[in-house]
Amino acid sequence: MSINLSNELIGDLQDAILKQVPNADTGAVLQHLAAVIGFALGHEPISKQDKDAFMAELSAFAAHVCNDIHSKTQEKPATPPAGDAFGIWTPENK
């Protein structure tokens, strides 16, 4: 199974939460998303041990996605153009 996240999907999820909790900030939206995971998993007819194991997997997966997005959105330092004296003026010897 492949998971395809998009800004549109994330926006739709945020909008659904904001419809229920109009003044929710980003932290509250994220808490609601986490609570949905717990709520859904809590209702699954599996053992507590299996629920705990699955929750650990989901938590690790969420951390992986967060780290991946973070690394992709960090500013990359600009690479100066190649050249002997880029940014430094040196007089010509005559």
**Domain-embedded: residue 49:** yes
Higher pLDDT, 85 or 16: 16
Q: What is the pLDDT of residue 84?
A: 58
Q: What is the pLDDT of residue 43?
A: 98
Q: How many domains does the chain have?
A: 1
User: For the residues of 14-83, what is the DSSP string, one character each?
Assistant: HHHHHHHSTT--HHHHHHHHHHHHHHHHHTSSS-HHHHHHHHHHHHHHHHHHHHHHHHHHSPPPPPPPP-
- Mean pLDDT for the chain overall: 89
**Domain-embedded: residue 69:** yes
For 5-39, the pLDDT digits (tens) are 999 999 999 999 999 999 999 999 999 999 999 99
For 46-76, the pLDDT digits (tens) are 999 999 999 999 999 999 999 999 999 987 7
**Domain-embedded: residue 88:** no
How sure is the predictor about 90, in pLDDT bands with cuts at 50, 70 and 90? low
* DSSP structure class, residue 91: P
Host domain of residue 38: 7-73
